[in-house]
Amino acid sequence: MWKLFLILSYMVVGNGFAVPIKHVEDSCTYPNGTDVKIHTYNCDGSWPIMVKDSQVYDSNGNVMYPIDPRKAMILDLISVNNGIVYTDNKVNVTIYSFGKNWLTGNCEWLKLETGTLLANIDGCEFAHNCPLQTGDLDLKLPLDLSPFAGIVNTLASNKPYQLEVRMFDFNEGSKHEEIACVVAQIRFSEGN
């Protein structure tokens, strides 16, 4: 029976579907002000690339919040590269939803399983941001999330989500070390 469960789980998760962990319908409030604005922070202070601030704009330059992932958007990242010039990078993204854990009754971030769909993304190709020069960076990254529609369409609107983005150095000759880790806590718009 367990083997059947594992096979079915792999078929669902391994084929690019986001499988949310069951939350009890709850009254958890939006954490960190995510009801009114994006909340971004670095995982810790030891990365070569550090994000100082972020904002999401629509194609007309207006602030887009809550975020509508079905529309074209521009992610504006104010950051600093204290490392080297990066000409190639890969990105892994983990998605969490915020709600009441049915086992503990506590409001917390719970990981959504996406299999490998959000792993090893070519950062240069997806974000059109290479090379990443040293020093202060004001990156205006046009984003199209349509390749991830299978995940985006399973996420509920008007709920807080957390995206943990880990970037790895893929310059020629590198050891693929992690160069950035940024967390963005967001809310998707109605109708998602």
| pTM of the complete model | 0.80
Query: In a 3-state reduction of DSSP, which class is residue 170?
Result: coil
Residue 58 has pLDDT above 70, yes or no: yes
d(CA 173, CA 151): 34
The single-letter DSSP state of residue 110 is E
Residue 152 pLDDT class (50, 70, 90 cuts):
confident
Which pairing describes strands 160-169 and 89-101: parallel, antiparallel, or unpaired?
Answer: antiparallel
Predicted local distance difference test score (pLDDT) of residue 147:
74
Predicted local distance difference test score (pLDDT) of residue 72:
85
Residue of higher predicted confidence among 151 and 4: 151
The closest alpha carbon to 38, from 72, 3, 73, belongs to 73
Q: What is the mean pLDDT of the chain?
A: 83
Predicted local distance difference test score (pLDDT) of residue 16:
43
The closest alpha carbon to 91, from 190, 12, 187, 180, belongs to 180
CB 90 within 8 A of CB 103: no
